[in-house]
Amino acid sequence: MLLFVLAAVAVIVVVRWVASHTGLPAAALLPLIGIAYALLPGPNISLDPGLVLTIVLPPLLYSAALDSSLLGIRRNLRIVVSLSVVLVLLTAVLVGIGFHWFVAGATLAAGIAIGAAVAPPDPVAALAVGRRVNLPPKLVTIIQGEGLLNDATALTILKVAVAAAVGGGFSFPSAVGQFVLAAAGGVAVGAVVAWAVRLARPLTADPLLSNAISLATPFVAYLLGEELHVSGVLAVVIAGLIVGHHTPRLTSGASRLQTSAVWRLVDFLLEGFVFLLIGQQLPTVVRGLHQYDVSTVVAAVAVSVGVVLLLRPAWLVLTQVLPRSLHTRLGGTSDDEPDETSSTREAARAERNARRLTRREVVALSWSGTRGVISLAAIFTLPLTTDSGAPFPDRNLLLFCTFVVVLVTLVGQGLTFAPLVRAMGLRANDNDQARVRNEARSAAVEAALARLDEVAADEPDLAEAVGTTRKQLNTRLARYRGRLDLLQSAESAEVPTSPQYEAALRIRRAAIEAQREELLRWRDAGRLPDEGLRILERELDHEELLLPKRASR
């Protein structure tokens, strides 16, 4: 097992290197390597659904929630909810109906079970590609929000469908009640866990304690939710969103830097193992297909893949058309609200139009619905038998169809998503983002200067120290304002470059590198202990981290 893990880490590292140099998504390459390994003779690793849902899923969801924007998700809540709740429900139902109608011998409950498994997209591949091609922040937020919330919906639907298939009964009011209870309970548990993390604020000043609390939080939220028979997945997501929103107030700068680095490593390794694991399930999912006719297998695969690929764009188009006529867009009101002024109505209309998706955004979101390990883990949780002792209906066929859906979307859409986005010219406005950041930097420095005035007035004996700090801040403010003037005068969406600014960055990098070399000479000559070297290197590393990456040449 240890050799297998080390080999897997080596493969993940190599694939990451290949992906960074070719632009191909690692999330699409790793399953193909997993399939190739599965076809070779020798030991293989089978997917343990309990392990995935308990050990792998909580940290991945929590890390994604920490990096998400609670305010951004709230601004786009209508589209996020429509994709993560309504579309998941529609996908499960339509796949179930399709199985019941077109697959010989399939039951509606079994069809809804596979529909629930393949309904939730795994946004890891889409987000990795989207960030590489500079996808607009609005689409990144929607994809993140959908990926965070849809797993809870799908797993709840799956639980209800399996209960109906195993016991032979289904009650719609009971199913709705279970869903509402699981969702509301998951939100409550997540909020309680986030509140408990806030109470631990005195401990988070120490980076090591902060990391320990952060790594334990998703497992606490998940286990507490499952113990209370509510959605543990939703509890993890809500806890992550709330903690991530309040992290700037809860933790020190050193804790945030270390925690961020730890979570990046966790994501890198867990995601790599997960995608390798997907490909290695091929022998398991094809083992039981000999009992089905080819026509039955083809019909089942066609229903599964067809609904997943076609329903998403249809739903996105529908949600952009219907609300316009019904005037029910979330956060907006009717254009002819009687007590609104004309300017207020215009502002509200502009806000609604900003939330509306363009055609290119609809196409991009339609092609971002890659499925992943959650679908496989969910379908592997199907029991082997029903309450009567009979085999669970078409379990092997459901496993195979889920695997095909994951492979088609993860590899097919994953490899073509970046070329599609580039062909449509859909990318973030770098100039606008840089302008907003420089405006915020200027405002922050102005606030610091105002605070210095208060300090100087309260403690006149600190005038010399205040003057030195004020001079440094004024120099920084002048640099930010100059950069802002350049950004505001630019006509393109690209960030304009200044030869003087780029030269200054190269000079600062050269100075940092010279300092590093001198510190190493001191260490090698025995004049500086290694502990001192590491402290001084860390200071230079933080200074270098503040420099824009593009000026590294």
Q: Give residue for tokens 């003037």.
A: 485
Q: Give residue for tokens 């050799």.
A: 3
Question: Residues 368-394: pLDDT tens digits?
Answer: 888 988 888 888 888 888 877 788 888
Quick one: average pLDDT of 493-512? 80
**Nearest alpha-carbon partner for 155 in 225, 213, 104:** 225
Q: Give residue for tokens 């005035």.
A: 453
For residue 528, which phi and psi values (nearest 5 degrees)? -135, 120
Q: Is the pLDDT of residue 116 over 90?
A: yes
Residue 329: its pLDDT value, please?
Answer: 43
Q: Is the pLDDT of residue 71 over 90?
A: no
Q: Note whether 316 and 357 are within 8 A (CB).
A: yes
Residue 352: its pLDDT value, please?
Answer: 54
Q: Which residues sit opposite 385 in a β-bridge?
A: 391
CB contact burial 480-515 (16+ within 10 A = b; e otherwise)? beebbebbeebeeeebeeeeebeeebeeebeebeee
Question: Residues 317-362: pLDDT tens digits?
Answer: 988 877 554 444 433 444 444 445 555 555 555 555 556 788 899 9
For the beta carbon of residue 249, count every other beta carbon within 10 angstroms.
Answer: 8
SS3 445: helix
Q: Note whether 47 and 285 are within 8 A (CB).
A: no
Alpha helices in 107-252 (DSSP H): 108-118, 124-132, 137-167, 172-199, 207-227, 232-250
Q: For residues 65 and 152, give the distance between their C-alpha atoms in angstroms, rounded to a whole number.
A: 14
Q: Is the pLDDT of residue 258 over 80?
A: yes
Distances (CA, A) of 446 to 248, 442, 449, 480, 541: 20, 6, 5, 11, 27
Name the average pLDDT for the chain.
84
For the beta carbon of residue 343, count every other beta carbon within 10 angstroms.
Answer: 8
Quick one: average pLDDT of 177-184? 85
* Selected residue with higher pLDDT from 72 and 221: 221
Residues 6+ apart with CB under 8 A from 490: 431, 496
Token readout for 86 is: 């309504």
Q: Give residue for tokens 């997209």.
A: 121
Q: For residues 505 and 544, give the distance between their C-alpha atoms in angstroms, rounded to a whole number.
A: 10
Residues 6+ apart with CB under 8 A from 402: 114, 117, 118, 285, 304, 375, 376, 378, 379
Residue 309: its pLDDT value, please?
Answer: 94
Highest mean pLDDT among 113-122, 255-264, 426-435: 113-122
Report the run of H or E that residue 26 belongs to, with start and end.
helix 26-38
For the beta carbon of residue 12, count every other beta carbon within 10 angstroms.
Answer: 20
Token readout for 358 is: 């363009």
Q: Is the pLDDT of residue 39 over 90?
A: no
Residue 550: its pLDDT value, please?
Answer: 56
Q: For residues 232 and 58, give the distance between their C-alpha atoms in angstroms, rounded to a whole number.
A: 9
Residue 337: its pLDDT value, please?
Answer: 45
Q: For residues 210 and 197, give the distance between their C-alpha atoms in angstroms, rounded to a whole number.
A: 10
HSE at residue 10, side-chain half, CA atoms within 13 A, is: 6
Residue 349: its pLDDT value, please?
Answer: 55
Residue 335: its pLDDT value, please?
Answer: 45
**Nearest alpha-carbon partner for 163 in 361, 386, 320:** 386
Residue at 492: amino acid letter: S
Reported confidence tier of residue 532, pLDDT bands at 50, 70, 90: confident
Quick one: average pLDDT of 525-544? 86
Give the length of the chain: 553
Quick one: average pLDDT of 152-162? 87
Token readout for 1 is: 């097992």
Reported confidence tier of residue 299, pLDDT bands at 50, 70, 90: very high
Report the run of H or E that residue 263 belongs to, with start and end.
helix 253-279
What percent of the chain is predicted at pLDDT more than 70? Answer: 91
Token readout for 147 is: 């990926």
Question: Computed from CA positions of residues 345, 350, 354, 358, in that sequence, does the dihedral angle turn out positive or negative?
Answer: positive
Token readout for 453 is: 């005035």
* Selected residue with higher pLDDT from 226 and 164: 226
SS3 133: coil
Q: Note whether 265 and 256 are within 8 A (CB).
A: no
Distances (CA, A) of 440 to 109, 257, 437, 447, 471: 54, 21, 5, 11, 20
Quick one: average pLDDT of 93-101? 93
Alpha helices in 392-498 (DSSP H): 395-407, 414-424, 430-458, 463-489
**Which DSSP letter does residue 526 get?**
T
HSE at residue 218, side-chain half, CA atoms within 13 A, is: 24
Reported confidence tier of residue 177, pLDDT bands at 50, 70, 90: confident
Alpha helices in 280-372 (DSSP H): 282-286, 294-326, 342-355, 359-366
